[in-house]
Amino acid sequence: MKLLSTTILAGVLATGAQAETLRMSWWGGDARHAQTQEALNYCGPKLGHEVAAEFTGWSGHQERITTQIAGRTEADIMQINWPWLPLFSRQGDGFADLRDYADIIDLSQFSEAQLAGGEMNGVLNGIPVSTTGRVFFFNKTNFDKVGLPIPQTWDDVIAAAPVFREQLGEDHYPFEAAGLNAIFLVSGAVTQATGKDLIDNETMTVAWTEEELLEGIRFYENLVESGAIRSWRQVAGEGNIELFEMRPWSDGRIAGTFEWDSAYAKYADPLGADQELVPVPMLTIGGSVTEGTYSKPSMLFSISQHSEHPEAAAEIINCLLNDPEAIEILGDSRGVPASKVAFDLLQGGDLINENVAAANALVLNGSGPIVSPFNEHPRVRDAFADNLEGVAYGQISAEDAAADIISSINRALRQFRS
Amino acid sequence: MESRFLGLAYLTPYIIGLLVFTMIPFLASLYLSFTDYTLINSPVWIGLENFRDLLDDRTFKRSLNVTLLYVFLTVPLKLAFALFIAVILNYRLRGIGLFRTAYYVPSILGGSIAIAVLWRYIFADAGLVNLVLTSIGLDPINWFGDPVNALFTLALLRTWQFGSAMVIFLAALQAVDKSLYEAAAIDGANKWHSFWHITMPLITPVIFFNLIMQMVQAFQEFNGPYVITGGGPLRSTYLLPLYIYDEAFKNFNMGYASAIAWVLFVIIMILTLVAFWSSKKWVYYAGDKRS
C-alpha cells in the first residue's frame, strides 16, 4: 500500500498537472496505430495520466472529427490535417492556443516557419508533427527489367510507356494518375509553368488564367493518350480503392505514382521484398520556372478548445514530440519528424527508413510557391475532380473544364474573402 | 407493478429511443433546413434560401436523377426476384428449410460494409465475375468504370439482399387457400393461369407492403455507393444520401444538407401517397367485393 501510494505520488509530482484521463484521436495505418499506442502507454504512466486511444483509417476521419467538434465531444488531443485549420478554426478560435502552454511544450524544438504553419489568425492551433509533400515514387525493379533508367523528366515517362508495353505486356504502365493524383499532376504542371500556386491568398481567387490551366489539362490528356498512365475509366474499374490496394500496383504492372513522402511504407509494403520502390526528384515539364514542389505541414497535434485538462494534454503532446523514448517508439510513423530533438535522435540512430528520409529531403529541398491550405478545400477538390473526370470521359472539352474549374473555385472561395 | 403500467414500462425504452434518436433529429433537421449552419458556429436563420439554392444546384439535380433511376431500377427487380425465389421455395422439396435459410442469409449480411467491400472485389476489373466471363470466352466488363454499369452493379447488390421481402412473400404464398388451386385445376387451369389469376391477386396486399418498404429503403441507400464506387464515375452512383453526407460533414453545410434531406423526405412521401392511391386499383383485400 505504501509502495502504491509512493508510486502515485511520484507520478503526480513528476508533472505539473494532476493525474487526468484524456482522449487522443488520430488517423493512419496499422504501423502508426501500433506505435502511437505504445508511445501513449509510455507517456501516460510516465506523466501520471491515462490516455484513451481513438484511431481510424484516413477515410471518414474528417467527418468523424467534424461531428465530434460540432457536438463538443472531440478528443482532448487531436491529430489534425493542415488543410482543416481554416475549416475548423478560421479565426484561430477552433482549437486551444498552444502558446498558452509554452512552459509545458518545448516549442524551441520547432522553427518559427514550422510553427507558423500551425497558426490561424496568429493563434498557434497546432504543432506540425512533420513536413510533408508530394513525391514521385517509381518501381525501380520494373524499370531495371526493361533496361531503362528511373525517369528524370516527363519525356522519360512517356518514352517508357511503349517499352513497358512491348517488353512486359499491354497492361503495364510506367505511371498512374487518376482522381486525386490527376488533380496534383495538372496543378503541378501549371505551377511549374507559371510559378504560381492555384490560389492567391491575398485576393482569395484563382491565380491562374484559363489558358494556363488549359495547358495543364492538355498535359494530363497527353499522358493518357501516350499510354503513360491508365485512363480514368480503367482506374475507376477497380472500384473505390486506393492505388496501393490494387493488384496492378502490388504485382508491378503500375510502376510509378505521386504520393505523400510519409506514405512510402504504404506503397512499398504491398510490393514485397523482390521489388524496390524509390523516391525521385520532381519531374518537370519543358520551360518550367519552378519545380512546383507541393509541400506543407503534414499532420498537427492540437488540443481541443473544450478540453477540461489542457495542461495534461500539453504534457502528452510534449512527450510524444520531444521525449527521447517516445520518439524512438514512434519512429517515422508520421514521416520525418519536425521536432529538432526527434529528427537528430532518429537520424543519429539510423531509425528513419532511408527511402522515407530521401523522400522527405526532396520535399524540404524542393522549390515552389507557398501552398495555400485552400488547395485541399473539399469544394476546390470537387471542382477539379468533376471537371477532369468529365474531360477524361469525353463529356466536356478541356476548354470548358478549365473555365468551370476556375469559376467554381472562385465561387467556393467567396465566403473566405474578408 | 400494476398491469396498466407494465405495458408502458416495456414500451419506455423504445419510446425514449424513438424520441432521442428519431423524433428530435427529425425536427431538428427541419429547423436546420432554414438555417446556415456550419456545424462549428451556431445556426443562423436564412428562411427559404437553402431550398432556393437547390433549384440551381447541378449536383443536386444530377444526384436526384440518379437516385430516382436507382429506385425505379432496384425496387421492381428486387420484388420480382424475391417473389420468384419465394414461389420456388414454396414447393415442398426435401431440405427446403435449409434453402429458405440460405436464401435469407444475404439479407442479414447485405447491408454491412464487409459485404460492400466483397462486392467491390467481385466486380473489380480483375474480380471473380470478369474471371468467369473470360474463362468462358467473353470479354471482361468494366463494371465500375462505366457509368451505366456502375449503377447496375449497385442495383444488383440491393437485389441480392432479397431475403426479407422473400420471407414475407413466402408467408403470403403459404396463406393462399389450397382449395382455390384445386378448384381451378378441375376447371382446366394450368399452373401459369393459377398463379396469375389466383396467387397474384391474393398476395397483392403483400406486394404493396413490400413495394413501400423497399422503395423507402432504396431511397436511403448509402453503404453500397459509399464503399464500392464513392459515387462515381461521373457521379453516376452519387445517390442523394451521399450528397447529404458530403454536404453535412465534408463541406460543413449542415443547413443545406438538412434541406436536401427534407426534399428527399417529401419525394418519398409523395411516391408513397401515389402508391397508396394506385393501390385502390390493384390491391385486393379479403372480403373485397370487386371482381
State how far residue A109 is from chain B, nearest Cα, in angstroms: 32
A63 and B125 in contact by Cβ < 8 A?
A: no
State whether A276 and A199 are in the same domain.
Answer: yes
- Confidence label for B250 from pLDDT (cuts 50, 70 and 90): confident
Mean pLDDT (whole number) for A101-111: 95
Q: The domain that contains B86 carries what CATH number?
A: 1.10.3720.10
Model confidence at A131: pLDDT above 90: no
How many domains would you assign to chain A? 2
Nearest CA of chain A to the CA of B282: how many Å? Answer: 41
How many domains, chain B?
A: 1
- A286 interface with B at CB cutoff 8 Å: no
A76 vs A285, which has greater pLDDT?
A76
Tell me whether residue A343 is in a domain: no
Least-confidence region, from A138-147, A215-224, A287-296, A385-394: A287-296
pLDDT category, B103, cuts 50, 70, 90? confident
Closest by Cβ to B124, choosing from A233, A239, A390 = A239
When CB atoms are compared, the residue of B144, B245, B252 closest to A87 is B252
In a domain, A63, yes or no: yes
The alpha-carbon gap from B265 to the nearest alpha carbon of chain A, in Å, equals: 23
Compute how many other C-beta atoms are within 10 angstroms of the C-beta atom of residue B91. Answer: 8
| Whole-number average pLDDT of chain B | 90
- Residues within 8 A of B (CB atoms), A 92-121 only: 94
| Whether residue A320 sits in one domain with residue A331 | yes
Residue A3 has a pLDDT of 40
Range of the domain at A207: 132-295+367-416
Yes or no, beta carbons of A235 and B145 under 8 Å apart: yes
Residues A115, A21 within the same domain: yes
Q: Would you state the pLDDT for residue A44?
A: 95
Q: Which of B20, B58, B144, B151 to mutate to test the interface with A (most CBs of A within 10 A)?
A: B144
Q: Report pLDDT for A12.
A: 42
pLDDT at B82: 93
What cell numbers appear for B249 in the block? 460533414
List the single residue in B40, B145, B249 with the smallest CB-CB distance to A63.
B249
Best of A183, A232, A241 to substitute, by most chain B Cβ atoms within 10 angstroms, is A241
Q: Indicate whether B101 pLDDT > 50.
A: yes
Cross-chain Cβ contact A239/B123 below 8 Å: yes
Residue A206 has pLDDT above 70, yes or no: yes
* Residues of chain B contacting A389 with CB distance shorter than 8 Å: 232-234
Which pLDDT score is estimated for A2?
A: 44
Provide the chain A residues 121-150 that lie in CB contact (below 8 A) with chain B: none
Residue A126 lies inside a defined structural domain of this protein: yes
With an 8 Å Cβ cutoff, is A42 touching chain B? no
- Facing residue for A389 by CB, picked from B227, B234, B249: B234
Same domain, A390 and A316: no
Task: Flag whether A8 is in a domain.
Answer: yes
- Classify residue A355: in a domain, yes or no: no
Mark whether A95 and A156 lie in a shared domain.
Answer: no
Is 60 exceeded by the pLDDT of residue B140? yes
- CA distance to partner chain A, nearest, from residue B154 (Å): 12
pLDDT at A238: 92
User: Taking 50 as the threshold, does the pLDDT of residue A414 lie above it?
Assistant: yes
Instruction: Indicate whether A392 belongs to any domain.
Output: yes
pLDDT of residue A109 exceeding 60:
yes
How much is the average pLDDT of A100-128?
92
**B34 within some domain:** no
In this prediction, residue A1 has a pLDDT band, given cuts at 50, 70 and 90, of very low
Is the domain of A317 the same as that of A409?
no
Residue A126 and residue A26 in one domain: yes
- Which residues have C-beta within 8 Å of that of residue A395, sequence separation ≥ 6? B234
With an 8 Å Cβ cutoff, are B120 and A69 in contact? no
Task: Flag whether B12 is in a domain.
Answer: no
Q: Which of A66, A235, A393 sits opposite B39 (nearest CB)?
A: A66
Answer whether residue A352 is part of any domain: no
pLDDT band for position A393 (50/70/90)?
Answer: very high
Domain with B100, as residue range(s), is 58-282
Q: Identify whether residues A93 and A230 lie together within a single domain.
A: no
pLDDT at residue B126, rounded to an integer: 86
Residue B110 pLDDT > 80: no
Residue B273 in domain: yes
The predicted pLDDT at position A57 comes to 86
Tell me which residue in A62, A70, A234 faces B40 most closely, judged by beta carbons: A70
Rounded average pLDDT over B49-69: 95
Same-domain pairing of A383 and A245 = yes
Q: What is the pLDDT averaged over residues A227-249?
A: 92
- Provide the CATH number for the domain around residue A179: 3.40.190.10
Q: State the average pLDDT over residues B188-205.
A: 91
pTM of this structure: 0.85
- Give me the pLDDT at residue A415, please: 81
Q: Do A237 and B143 touch (CB under 8 A)?
A: yes
pLDDT at A5: 45
Average pLDDT, integer, range A151-176: 94
Residue A388 Cα, gap to closest chain B Cα (Å): 10
Contacts of A404 in chain B (CB under 8 A): none
A357 falls within a domain: no
Mean pLDDT rounded to a whole number for chain A: 90
Tens of pLDDT, residue by residue over A321-352, are: 999 999 999 998 888 899 999 999 998 888 88
Chain-chain contact of A240 with B120 (C-beta, under 8 angstroms): yes
Under an 8 A CB cutoff, do B121 and A247 touch?
Answer: no
